[in-house]
Structure 1
Amino acid sequence: MFATSLGHDGAELRPLEPCQAEEYFANIERGREYIGQYVALPTVATDVASARAFLQSYADKAAADAGRLFGIWLDDTLVGGVLFRTMDVAAGTCEAGCWLEPSAVGRGLVTRATTVIIDWAVEQRGIHRVEWQVSSANKASINVARRLGMTHEGVLRESYPYGGVRHDMEVWSVLAPEWRARRAARTAD
């Protein structure tokens, strides 16, 4: 299995597969309350079997070229991940997302991991538009979108019913030419 270094702090990005259901479930358990504030992953992974089914659904998406799931490991412990929730290669669009347990917050892991997968989507899969949808209350994820150089496009008012509350969802995106220009500027620094 491949691993991509996310820097000198022992962080790695790797595919997250059904055979890692126990490790994924342990990650969700450690961060259940924190992760579950804005995303439904903890409600989907309620035990190892449901965690395996979720990971299998992403293995199926990968086989259909319709999504991808990657874990973030810190010192060989799965602490979160990034994903393409949707991917339409023919249309050149995808939606990226993330989760992270509290012990790994504030290290830039999600920004670094998302940079890797957006590079891959744009350069290897020909994706033109990468979207990031986030609850307006999720300031940490909004800050990731900003650090990635995404443009705030608007708010889908009360569009996401979750936890008995209807959440406003912000839509952020970056287009392939913008992403390439930003990467060239980073390389020039």
Structure 2
Amino acid sequence: MKILIPFYSTYGHTYQMAQAVAEGAKKVDGADVELRRIPETMPEDTLEEIGALEAQEAFADVPECTIDDLENADAIIFGTPTRFGNMAGQMRQFLDTTGALWQEGKLVGTVGSVFASTATQHGGQETTLRNFHTTLLHHGMIVVGLPYSFSGLTEMDEISGGTPYGATTLADADGSRMPSENELNAARFQGEHVAKITAKQVQS
């Protein structure tokens, strides 16, 4: 059972969430979990100017995602930062190359899920996830979110990400805030939840 986690990350927040998703998925027997990096499209000098070049060194050794990776997966859990209430352009550009998979129905029945990062508490977490789900549904994927059986969704003692559509984290406008333990736990729960559902699909 292959669980693929393709992520795009600018400053490392989505990467940290992807690692937590992988931790959760690996708890399920038979799960072969792989992290894959969505290719960067910004020029290196731009990355350096916005202070992201050094941050991206932390996950530079993660292999880039390919179309074949998607086709060979039983479940795909995508991770993306938010850009104005939608997925990052890097992720959109990558998904726009999956037309051949769509034409041939290669992802029909594949389990799909999404997690995200936003700068602010109301920065488009839910719209990003829901907008992303549209692409998964066009591919015929089985969309899985983050159920309320994860008690952290009702956390009221701290400012925290987390939606029934998928795990999220808050980065702050300057990127200084890293994922909290509650947000990482949400990602772990989502990874395990998706892997359990996928196991049932593979066995049926």
Question: TM-score normalized by structure 2?
Answer: 0.36
| Larger RCO (CA within 8 A; separation ≥ 6) | 2
Q: Which has the higher strand share?
A: 1
